[in-house]
Structure 1
Amino acid sequence: MEPIINNTMRVKRMNQELVREALRNMRQGTKSMVAEATGLSLATCRNILYELLSTGELIELDLEESNGGRPAQMYMYNVNFANIACIMVKAGVTVHSLTFSVVNLAGESIEEGYQEVEHMNEELIYELTDRLILKYPRIRALGIGVPGAVHQGVINSCDIPNLIHVNLVAPIQEKHKVEVILDNDMNLTVYGLYQRRGYHERKSLIVTTFIEGSLPGAGIMIDGHIHRGNSHFAGEVAFLPFGLSHAEQYRQLHNRNTFHSLAARAVSSLIAVMNPETIALTGDLMKPGDVELIRNECLKYIPELHMPHLILLDNPDEDYMCGLIKMTLESLSYSLQLVEKRR
């Protein structure tokens, strides 16, 4: 009988999420409007609406204006029912930084903050998490972006050496009983760019970054989905077989005489393997005019027919935070019903 029970619960959760999503999109609506938007029966919608009302996830509004018949009850999704917190971990040449944002379920900012640290480690991230959850007890999920490769909650390569081999997910989940999302900064940046540019179709998009003090990396969207790879190593272009050590790569990328050639080899490799529609180039090593220079270098390897649109991404941190917020909100799809366990 257990598989049947599990399947029943799964269907119920899916239906609840359909109702949530419908009301989030409509802002407010009646039972009939929700049923039409979701394809669920009126009876199913009524039961789910009552359940969400009982937890405070929905707000009951006034009756709709009558068109001659009996006016129906209006409902609105309570975007302040819960919060999420997002933390961007960034590597710098001399100092590192933590940027955070606490938002509601509509992604509207409640508090933002920034701090620079000379010696970054996991304890600083835990301290910030503790402080935010203490101040905002409605936080139900935490998103963390890091400049490195992440697999099964563990950072296995990183531009901040103190974070290598650190499992950031399990300690926070165990202590605070919240959803925790940990992902690579470039995955989050390309996802944020995809969302902010309104790519509704299944486009292929890459963001490649060339940052002072670090080796390059890339975030990849293929047909509308983040491509992480088997062990979440996709996009680590510094490991391409250039025939150069990481130290020599670093030297050439930080030398204006060799930067464009090496950057173009990395970009050309991504084009040949992924064949994206657009590649966004970013990072403080990128200067005005570099996009065209890199494009011309790429044409030495890639036929014009297959060259993607190359653009310069001026404010990648906005896309980074957008991607982190979107992904963290998505992690709450089935977990809001567990809210009462933390009260």
Structure 2
Amino acid sequence: MQITYNTSNVKKMNMELIRVVIKTMPGNTKAGIAAVTGLSHATCNNLLNEMVVAGEVLELDKENKSGGRPSQRYEYNSNFFNILSLYIDNDSKKTALRYAVFNLIGEILEEEAFYKEHMDYQSIDDVIAQVLQKHPVIKAIGIGIPGVILKQRFIHTCDVQSLSDCPMANHLEKRFGIKTLLENDMNATAIGIYQEQDYEEEASIAVMTFIKDNFPGSGIIVNGHILRGYTNFAGEIAFLPYDRTRQQMEEMLSESSTTLPLIVKSISSMIAIINPETIILTGTLITENMLDEIQRQVEEVIAKEHMPHIIFKESIHKFYLKGLMTISMNNLSGSFKAKL
């Protein structure tokens, strides 16, 4: 989709530049912000004044100078509004809704989990309503779903069957009047890990999960861009040609000892297709002590010079939440960042 750079879009991009500088360099002056962003002093002055009036930017004590007029310093108001990240966790026997409320510099203000015997749309609606009572300045919601998501709005298929074919984002926006995005669980996790690692150059990584009694999935970032595919089906590695029926795969995914052939084939396929520098493995069917054997068997198929770093993450919880926060913040700010 082509982006039209009209006056409104240019203003949004310029304001985002100022946000980034003030968040990372608190206490800077208009002249300093203009120098870092490359914006003119007039543009910087007008946009900063607008952000101060709105309450998004705070004025600090003026800069002390030995001679000359002291310059106003600025700081980002991290609590201008909050972001809610919420996801469905079906890794354990009892399904849970886990959430965190973030401020605008990524600090967690509250984190909680609600365990549900039965999960449906109303369960999510009820939790969001409770959180909004405590945090009324939430302006964006990101929800992680273990399934296929269409255009970050509609749940096509979901591991929680009662949520399949649900236009959840539209329902929630109508109910609460808050911008809402849906994201596949592994895509959100991959984004969170990518942000956490803070790669200096655009990198390619894959997160692959193998959970007991669940089909595997993955989130893929290629050269700094999340890979969604034509119909948001990218990463659904459960549909690779494993030369086994779905019933046979289900039997293999019931125990760690029988899952290894699927793991090795999945990793080998991922390396051959996207050639990542890192593959992160997670899920209840994988343990740290399996990595050497996984590496050995993959190297029987893939030459060593093409092998990525293969690492294990026992918990992806913080990365999942951070990924949802990042997606929501980018959506709300109107950011035109190429990454993610």
Same structural fold, with TM-score higher than 0.5 when normalized by the shorter chain:
yes
Indicate if the aligned counterparts of 2:256 and 2:286 stay in contact, CA closer than 8 A.
no
Give the Å deviation of 1:244: 2.0
- C-alpha separation in 2, matches of 1:252 and 1:66: 70
Judged with a 3 Å threshold, the aligned counterparts in structure 2 of structure 1 residues 256 and 63 are, in CA distance, closer, same or farther, namely closer
- C-alpha separation in 1, matches of 2:323 and 2:334: 19
Judged with a 3 Å threshold, the aligned counterparts in structure 2 of structure 1 residues 93 and 55 are, in CA distance, closer, same or farther, namely closer
Q: Deviations over 1:226-247 (max 9, x none)?
A: 1111111111111112222222
- C-alpha separation in 1, matches of 2:93 and 2:158: 16
Matches within 5 A, 1:184-199: 184-199=184-199
Indicate if the aligned counterparts of 2:211 and 2:253 stay in contact, CA closer than 8 A.
no
Aligned to 1:131: 130
Aligned to 2:285: 285
Q: Deviations over 1:23-65 (max 9, x none)?
A: 1111121111111111111111111111111111111111110
Give the Å deviation of 1:93: 5.0
- C-alpha separation in 1, matches of 2:179 and 2:257: 46
| Poorly superposed stretches of 4+, deviation over 6 Å | none
Aligned to 1:341: none
Aligned partner letter, 1:171: H
Give the Å deviation of 1:84: 0.7
Q: Which TM-score applies when normalising by structure 1?
A: 0.92
- C-alpha separation in 2, matches of 1:224 and 1:60: 35
Q: Which TM-score applies when normalising by structure 2?
A: 0.93
Indicate if the aligned counterparts of 2:287 and 2:314 stay in contact, CA closer than 8 A.
no
Aligned to 1:201: 201
Aligned partner of residue 332 in structure 2, secondary structure: coil
Aligned partner letter, 1:323: G
Indicate if the aligned counterparts of 1:281 and 1:311 stay in contact, CA closer than 8 A.
yes
- C-alpha separation in 2, matches of 1:256 and 1:75: 54
Q: CA RMSD in A?
A: 1.7
- C-alpha separation in 2, matches of 1:234 and 1:79: 35
- C-alpha separation in 1, matches of 2:85 and 2:24: 23
Matches within 5 A, 1:64-79: 64-79=63-78
| Number of residue pairs aligned between Structure 1 and Structure 2 | 331
Aligned to 1:320: 320
Aligned to 1:338: none
- C-alpha separation in 2, matches of 1:288 and 1:62: 51
Indicate if the aligned counterparts of 1:192 and 1:319 stay in contact, CA closer than 8 A.
yes
Indicate if the aligned counterparts of 2:212 and 2:254 stay in contact, CA closer than 8 A.
yes
Query: Runs of 5+ in structure 1 lacking a partner?
Result: 336-343
Aligned partner letter, 1:278: T
Aligned to 1:19: 18
Report % sequence identity: 39
Q: Deviations over 1:130-160 (max 9, x none)?
A: 2222332211100101111111211222221
Aligned partner letter, 2:101: V
Judged with a 3 Å threshold, the aligned counterparts in structure 2 of structure 1 residues 92 and 257 are, in CA distance, closer, same or farther, namely closer
Aligned partner of residue 212 in structure 2, secondary structure: coil
